[in-house]
Amino acid sequence: MMSLVAREGRQLQRYSSNGRRLVVGCIPYKFNVDDSSSDDPDKAVEVLVISSQKGNGMLFPKGGWETDETKKQAALREALEEAGVQGNIERRLGKWKYKSRSHDTIYEGILFPLNVTKELVDWPEMEVRNRRWVTVAEAREGCQHLWMREALERLMRRLSNSSKSRTTSEA
């Protein structure tokens, strides 16, 4: 069995032209098997949240975008390292500027939806992070980062529109 190890250091870190650290992540989601037929995506979808390394808060996997990878590759790597999930990355939800809580600086963050297809038993940061599948309502309530909540709202609108399109075409 191959051992997975999280990348460390910032020697490959990308920065914007004005010196802001570029951060990429994803919102891991899956359809709730018990309620996948629901017309309400809030009930049909679960999202995976993780704790910070300090153990508090509820957030989505994210981290630095490095020079040897694309944005999507970085998002997939962060999901694997921090949450132990793999899946299909979808069209980006948006780009946000936000203030770092641990450093006195502004970052630029990009989030993608990740339709989870595999949940690993062991992953690189399992000793320092907890992961938990939650309802969309729980994620809205518990996520302390405004930009992540905005991304979640965009994902839910997209899934809702997609669901409506499928229903209309099937009629």
Triad 58, 137, 154: Cα angle to 5°: 85
| pLDDT at residue 42, as a whole number | 73
Average pLDDT, the chain: 86
Q: What is the dihedral of CA 41, 86, 81, 154, to 10 degrees?
A: -30
Torsion sign across C-alpha atoms 116, 142, 144, 164: positive
| pLDDT at residue 171, as a whole number | 46
Please give the share of the chain, as a percent, with pLDDT higher than 70.
Answer: 83
pLDDT digits (tens, 9 = 90+) for 40-67: 667 789 999 999 877 677 899 999 999 9
| pLDDT at residue 8, as a whole number | 63
pLDDT digits (tens, 9 = 90+) for 140-159: 999 888 999 999 999 999 99
Q: How many helices and strands, by DSSP H and E, does the chain display?
A: 4, 7
| pLDDT at residue 3, as a whole number | 47
| pLDDT at residue 4, as a whole number | 62
Residue 13 lies in a domain: no
Residue 6 lies in a domain: no
CATH code at position 67: 3.90.79.10
Residue 4 lies in a domain: no
Determine contact, residues 132/48, Cβ cutoff 8 Å.
Answer: yes
List of residues 6+ apart from 5 with CB closer than 8 A? 124
Range of the domain at 39: 21-170
Q: How many domains does the chain have?
A: 1
Residue 12 lies in a domain: no
Q: Is the pLDDT of residue 116 over 80?
A: yes
List phi, psi (to 5°) of 90: -115, 180
* Closest listed residue to residue 93, CA positions, set 116, 67, 71, 119: 71
pLDDT band per the 50, 70, 90 thresholds, residue 162: confident
DSSP 66: B
Residue 9 lies in a domain: no
Residue type, position 11, single letter: Q
